[in-house]
Chains A and B, each alone.
Chain A
């Protein structure tokens, strides 16, 4: 009888593991208030683990030209944000997401766009995705929430 239950339990576990896509990515919550406020004013607050240290330093170097827009902020907020991003960058932090996102970076030139990071391409490089983006009318690939409804909570499931 006991074995019977054990088998059932194992089967249930296996089923639930199968139904959750193996691609699921989870990021730890963003703990910097300045990051949440300042970055979140204009776009989803991206996770520091998505880019290496050198990329964040470059991005924060000139916020008055932030992908063509003036996103300049005061020096206090800027320094808090840079510190947080650098301390949690993909090649600095030691969690699963960071380890995944630093794979394949090598000595490549600095990637400033998350959509050109190896992990992003690996997960989205498929004509199926292009079709889905078109179908859903996704305005920008940087709008993670368009498909990953819980992206801001750090949960990226298909």
Chain B
């Protein structure tokens, strides 16, 4: 038994690793759940998050913020799979969870960057609905 146990453990780990979808992460799920609770509290008609709406937020040009940065894609690049670049030339790692599994697992970091970047691009804070849509899109990518 002594010799078999490590094998079983290894097999279980490998199976778990293969079976787990890229997006499954308790910390990230908790962040999305937090936005869901906020969205429900703000709107009794809340009907879930949408990856398509999240994609639109990411890709579409916006008004109200810094004119030089009208879209998320201005700095993050055309697709969530590639790297981006700040206006000052600093590289930004991909936003898609499949490309960057560390993404959206630190609640403080998520809150900080939604605050900053929504203010910069849209000229206002994003709603919980928008944040959840955005994360749902990035988790599907």
A and B part of one assembly:
yes
Give the tally of cross-chain contacts (CB within 8 A).
45
Name the interface size band of chain B: 10 to 19
User: Which residues on the B side are within 8 Å of A72 (C-beta)?
Assistant: 115-116, 119
Known: A69-B120, A70-B116. A146 touches B88 (CB 8 A): no
- The smallest beta-carbon distance between A71 and chain B, in angstroms, is 6
Structural contact, A68 and B88, CB atoms closer than 8 A: no
Q: Who on chain A is nearest to B87 by CB?
A: A140
A143 in contact with B116 given A69-B66, A69-B69 (CB within 8 Å): no
B66 / chain A contacts, CB cutoff of 8 Å: 68-69
Check B102 for interface membership: any CB of A closer than 8 A: no
Q: Which residue of B lies closest to A46 (CB)?
A: B88
Is B85 an interface residue when CB atoms closer than 8 A count as contact? yes
Contacts of B89 in A (CB 8 A): 43-44, 138-140, 142-143, 145-146
Q: Nearest chain A CB to B107's CB is how many angstroms away?
A: 14
CB of B88 within 8 A of CB of A42, answer: yes
A42 touches B86 (CB 8 A): yes
A64 at the B interface (CB under 8 A): yes
Q: Which residues of B contact A140 (CB under 8 A)?
A: 87-89
What is the minimal beta-carbon distance from B17 to any residue of chain A, in angstroms? 31
> Out of A44, A68, A138, which one reaches B120, CB within 8 Å?
A68
**Contact between A43 and B115 (Cβ–Cβ < 8 Å)?**
no
Q: Type the 1/0 row for A38-80, where 1 means its CB is closer than 8 Å to any CB of B.
A: 0000111000000000000000000010001111110000000
| B residues in contact (CB < 8 Å) with A | 66, 68-69, 85-90, 112, 115-117, 119-120
13 additional contacts, CB 8 Å, given A139-B87, A140-B89, A143-B88? A42-B86, A42-B88, A43-B90, A44-B89, A68-B66, A68-B69, A69-B69, A70-B115, A72-B116, A142-B88, A142-B89, A143-B89, A143-B90
Closest 8 CB pairs of A and B: A143-B89, A43-B88, A70-B119, A68-B66, A70-B116, A69-B120, A70-B120, A142-B88
